[in-house]
Amino acid sequence: MQLRLKTRHNIYRFLMQLLFKPSLSQWITMLALFVGILGATYLETQTKIEIQVPNRDLPAYYQIKPGDLSSKTYAQKDIPSQILKNSQELVNRYTLTKIPKQKPLTEKLVSSKIDPNRLVDTVVVGIPATPAMILGGNLQAGDTVEMTLVPTTTKAKSLPSPVVFPNILVLDVNSVSQASASSTSVVVVALPLKRQQEFASKSLGATFLLTRKL
């Protein structure tokens, strides 16, 4: 009986030694893993990447030009995902929000690539919009719409004629939380500069209609 207990004890002690006292090969493997992790961390810290960043504060809905960019070097670990590194990826796209100086630019901060001529001689205009105006939430930046202003009715016998603005580029659609207001969004559009005064004079009290071709 004592011999059997002693044998069991020796077997148990042998198993514990295997579990808690790794062999030489196991030590080498663990050391290699540890060194690999340290090396990867060091390389990530030391690896430098040169990217293009704004050399000044950029306003929202501003078309980026070559002179707005300059090079800056960052550590790999400090680079956000979906970063736009080269000037070719940035020039002629417009900002979707105010961009601080030297902030790395990502896809979420700028528009998709568009024909730069669409922004020539235009001004940025924000229009309060109901869910119906933004097509149930399906209107998005980059869409081309026809904007119609329907003036308020007057006591005159003839109804005022609608004012149509064709081929208007949608720059952005922003949600606005206003508990007691009927407008839930703001549609930002690029309005032709030559029609800015007409828009200002006709839009007061007018009803806006946005339509998009299928």
pLDDT tens by residue, 166-180: 999 999 998 765 544
Amino acid 21 reads K
| pLDDT score for 35 | 65
| pLDDT score for 24 | 63
pLDDT, average across residues 10-33:
59
Give per-residue burial for 1-32: e unless 16+ CB within 10 Å, then b.
eeeeeeeeeeeeeeeeeeeeeeeeeeeeeeee
Residue 129, pLDDT > 60, answer yes
125 vs 30 pLDDT, higher one:
125
Q: For 39-53, 60-74, 137-151, 161-175, which range has the lowest pLDDT when averaged over its residues?
A: 39-53
Share of residues in the chain with pLDDT > 90 (%): 43
pLDDT, average across residues 141-159:
80
Q: If 0-12 CB within 10 Å is exposed, 13-18 middle and 19+ buried, where does residue 39 land?
A: exposed
| pLDDT score for 136 | 78
Mean pLDDT for the chain overall: 81
From the centroid of its chain, how far is CA 130?
23
Q: What torsion do the CA atoms of 42, 45, 47, 52 make, to the nearest 10 degrees?
A: 170
| pLDDT score for 134 | 83
CA dihedral for 187, 189, 191, 196, sign (positive or negative): positive
